[in-house]
Amino acid sequence: MRLTALTALTALVLLGVIFELVRRRQLREKYAILWMSVGLVVLVLGFFPRLLNSLALLVGVVSGVSLVLFLGIIFLLVVCIHLSWEASRLEEKTRTLAEEIALIRAKLTEREPIE
């Protein structure tokens, strides 16, 4: 029972933090939806940790907890890759912006040398 209390409390705190971030518009909607669903899954599993036992047995994993661990790691890995991809895209966008700014600057100084 103490384990369930721990996981349930963690899930509640997590969901609270995510909700607060979304409420303050600190998270873009696409991420908000992702993390809200993660929070909900964690919440349900936090209150009923043995929910996944039958599914775990079905795929050959001894306990539901191990399955959660496995899926969790895979999920985090995918999220990390996604973030790297997103960062690369942003870098490409800021690169284009930087180049445009330099072009505009050059054009301005050609007209009337400031600085």
CB of 90 to another protein, least distance (A): 13
HSE toward the beta carbon, residue 4, CA cutoff 13 A: 7
CB of 108 to another protein, least distance (A): 11
CA distance 16 to 49: 20
CB closer to another protein out of 110 and 112: 110
CB of 84 to another protein, least distance (A): 15
CB closer to another protein out of 77 and 102: 102
Q: Is the Cα torsion angle 78, 76, 82, 38 positive or negative in sign?
A: positive
- Binding marks (x or -) toward another protein, 69..108, rule CB under 8 A? -----------------------x--x--xx-xxx-xx--
Amino acid identity of residue 51, one-letter, is L
Rounded to a whole number of angstroms, the CA Rg of the chain reads 23
Tell me: does residue 109 bind another protein (CB under 8 A): yes
- Helical residues (DSSP H) of the chain, grouped into ranges: 2-23, 29-47, 53-58, 64-111
Tell me: does residue 20 bind another protein (CB under 8 A): no
Which residues sit at the interface with another protein, rule CB under 8 A? 92, 95, 98-99, 101-103, 105-106, 109-110
